[in-house]
Structure formats: C-alpha cells, structure tokens
C-alpha cells in the first residue's frame, strides 16, 4: 500500500496535503451481482454526482467541523469570508462525481450492507481513468468522447473517521486559508495555491464522516473539473426508490482486460 502527496507551493498547503494523500494500492468495490456483471461486461464505471452520492448530513458534518475551526481562530470579516468560502464549496461539491471503494479485501460490513459481490481493481485503475478515461457527450445525432485528461482531475483518497484527526485537519485547513489569502493575488504562487486550497477544503467536506461509520473503511474516487475549466459533465439518471440519482458513465479503454483483477461472490 503506497501513498502519493502532491507538491504544494506553500508550507500550510503541504502540511494539509499530507493529511489527504492520494491512495495507491488495489481497490475493492462491493456491489450486488447484477452491477458487478454490468461492470465486467461493459467496462463502465458509474460515478454518482455529489448531490445524489452524499446526503445532506454528510456535507453538513464536514462543514460543522470547519466552521468550529474557523470560529476558534478568526473573527470579524475574516471569519465571515472563510465561512462564505465553505458554503460555496459545499455547493460546488454537489457537482463532483464520486465512487466508493475500500482497500480491505475482507470487509464483511460492506459485503453485508452493499452487496455480496466484490470487484478487485488493480492499483493504478484511478490513474488510468485520469490518463485514458472518457465519457460520452451528446453531439448532434451522435456522441463525442470527452477525455478526462483534457478537462478533469481524478483523485482517490481515504475517508477520515477519527474525531481528533478531523479536528486537527480542520485547524490545518484554517491555517492554510490564512496563508493563501494573505498572498499577493497577482502572484503565480497565489494562482497555484488558491485552487489547491479549494480542492483540499472540498476534501474536508467530502472525506470527513462520523466515527460511527468507520467499519466502512471507505476510499472515495473524485472526478471534478480542472482549474479554470467550466466543463459541463454529461450525466444520466435513474430512480432509486422515490429518489432520482444522477450519475456519469466513465470508461477506461480495456478496463475489463487491464484493470479488473477478479470478481468474487463472497456472501
């Protein structure tokens, strides 16, 4: 199991980045038999849009932790500005696309609650998605392949469950906000840092979960537009009970041949 931490132009972002290392290792996805057969047959990965994937309690949970950290160390206009940033990112997060994995090949909790079939993907699957993945966008009477490498970022990180770690990361996030917002906004360093900061604050919102869910041992795959891109991602929708779920079909060339290590029914 390996982790990769991206280079950051300022110290506080480097510290924060170490708390959200990008996972490198085999991925396991627990689902039902029908969905596993579909992935194996078509090579499509269904990434769910944030407003369907995350319930309101999850987004509010991460936001509350960040609000508390902001209130501990800021006041006045700085506090209002930082809280406004978190509110805005909460809205942006709803337009990210996500998929759940775990690094635990024997997670009985996921097998029991999310489906008794386990798909194992090789460790660089998410990197292959970033480098060679695409989704189809309607164009005229046909479709155009929208390649991830042109407009989208793809990351894969562990969910954070421990309350003390969440509190520490939240304090690091506020320190990073202070440092980045104090930079010369015409500088290259600011241009590089502000997007990275927003990305990591969004990580806090999406990757903080109540300790009561720690048995899930979740890894989350993120897909979101690159800096400066206003790409409108294509999506489909389906009904789940009385709720409409929005999702995107992502494809990796030769997914079945090159990425899927095995499919196993375990319960």
Q: What are 208-237's pLDDT values in tens digits?
A: 999 999 999 999 988 877 655 555 666 788
Q: pLDDT digits over 1-20, tens only?
A: 544 455 566 788 888 888 88
Domains held by the chain: number: 1
Res 112: pLDDT: 92
Band (104; pLDDT cuts 50, 70, 90): very high
**Could you give the CA distance from residue 114 to residue 124 in angstroms, rounded to a whole number?**
24
**Is residue 144 pLDDT above 80, yes or no?**
no
Report the percent of the chain where pLDDT is more than 70. 91
Domain extent for 35? 2-265
**Angle CA(125)–CA(128)–CA(130) in degrees, nearest 5?**
115
pLDDT of 101 higher than 50: yes
Mean pLDDT of 197-214: 89
**Rounded-to-integer distance, Cα 68 and Cα 64, Å:** 6
What's the farthest any 2 CA atoms get from each other in the chain? 57
Q: What is the pLDDT of residue 91?
A: 80
Q: Measured between alpha carbons, how far is residue 110 from residues 28, 39, 190, 267 in Å?
A: 10, 18, 41, 11
For residue 177, the model assigns a pLDDT of: 95
């Amino acid at each position: 199991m390996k982790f990769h931490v991206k280079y950051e132009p300022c110290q506080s972002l480097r510290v924060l980045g170490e708390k959200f290392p990008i996972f490198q290792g085999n991925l396991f996805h627990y689902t039902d038999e029908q969905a596993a057969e579909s992935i194996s047959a078509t090579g499509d990965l269904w990434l769910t849009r944030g407003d369907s994937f995350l319930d309101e309690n999850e987004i509010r949970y991460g936001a509350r932790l960040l609000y508390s950290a902001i209130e501990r160390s800021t006041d006045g206009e700085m506090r209002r500005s930082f809280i406004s940033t978190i509110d805005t990112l909460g809205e942006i997060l709803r337009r990210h696309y996500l998929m759940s994995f775990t690094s635990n090949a024997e997670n009985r909790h996921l097998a029991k609650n999310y489906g008794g079939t386990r798909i194992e993907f090789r460790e660089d699957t998410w990197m292959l998605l970033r480098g060679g993945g695409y989704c189809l966008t309607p164009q005229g009477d046909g479709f155009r392949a929208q390649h991830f490498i042109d407009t989208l970022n793809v990351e894969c990180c562990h969910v954070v469950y421990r309350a003390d770690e969440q509190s520490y990361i939240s304090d690091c996030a506020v320190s990073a906000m202070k440092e980045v917002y104090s930079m010369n906004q015409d500088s290259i360093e600011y241009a590089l840092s502000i997007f990275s900061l927003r990305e990591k604050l969004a990580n806090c919102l999406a990757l903080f979960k109540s300790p009561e869910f720690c048995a899930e041992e979740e890894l989350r795959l993120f897909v979101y537009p690159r800096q400066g891109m206003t790409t409108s991602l294509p999506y489909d929708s389906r009904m789940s009970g009385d709720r409409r779920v929005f999702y995107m079909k992502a494809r990796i060339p030769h997914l079945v041949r090159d990425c899927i290590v095995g499919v196993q029914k375990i319960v």
